[in-house]
């Protein structure tokens, strides 16, 4: 049974388009000490995403946290081929935004929908940051 698409508007932070399975956390994310930049594996102890891999995912979380080094680490993940394909936040903060800018990872924030109701881990999501549109297409073929 096919799921109907859900579309909502968001503010463009970093332009671009991407599509991938969602990985959702209701907790803030820190790239410094939180993610292995060689594998994309989420390593922060006791975080809901611990053990998940962010590579190729649309990473959905409320806000970034942590050290300014996180911006460079996102760039390093892109160079290593293990970065998220897009980031969707409730509120962009400077560290994650700068990381997305230098890494050319599309990023949006300030959605006009309840982000955590609209997107679930495993949903196939399209982010058109240029247009400020996020579309939940349905469940990805393999989930997460």
- What is the predicted pLDDT for the residue at 35? 95
**CB proximity list for 144: less than 8 A, separation 6 or greater:** 21, 22, 23, 52, 57, 121, 122
Q: What value does the mean pLDDT take over residues 36-43?
A: 96
Between these two residues, 109 and 3, which has the higher pLDDT value? 109
CATH code of 6-139, in short, is 3.50.30.10
Give residue limits of the domains in the chain. 6-139
Q: What value does the mean pLDDT take over residues 94-99?
A: 95
Residue 88 sits at the vertex; the CA angle it makes with 104 and 47, to the nearest 5 degrees, is 110
Beta pairing, strands 86-89 & 11-14: unpaired
Question: Does 67 qualify as catalytic in the annotation?
Answer: yes
**CB proximity list for 81: less than 8 A, separation 6 or greater:** 55
Read off the pTM: 0.92
Given 5, 52, 67, 103, the catalytic residue: 67
Q: What value does the mean pLDDT take over residues 63-74?
A: 90
Q: Residue 50 to residues 14, 29, 30, 107: CA-CA distances in angstroms?
A: 26, 11, 12, 22
């Amino acid at each position: 049974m096919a799921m109907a698409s859900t579309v909502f508007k968001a503010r463009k932070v970093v332009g671009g388009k991407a599509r991938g399975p969602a990985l959702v956390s209701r907790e803030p994310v820190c790239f410094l000490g939180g993610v292995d930049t060689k594998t994309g594996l989420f390593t922060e102890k006791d975080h809901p995403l611990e053990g998940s891999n962010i590579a190729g995912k649309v990473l959905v979380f409320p806000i970034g946290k942590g050290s300014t080094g996180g911006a460079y680490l996102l760039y390093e993940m892109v160079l290593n081929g293990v970065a998220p394909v897009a980031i969707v936040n409730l509120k962009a903060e400077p560290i994650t935004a700068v990381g997305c800018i230098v890494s050319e990872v599309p990023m949006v924030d300030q959605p006009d929908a309840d982000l955590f109701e609209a997107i679930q881990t495993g949903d196939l999501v399209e982010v058109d940051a240029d247009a400020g549109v996020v579309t939940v297409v349905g469940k990805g073929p393999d989930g997460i």
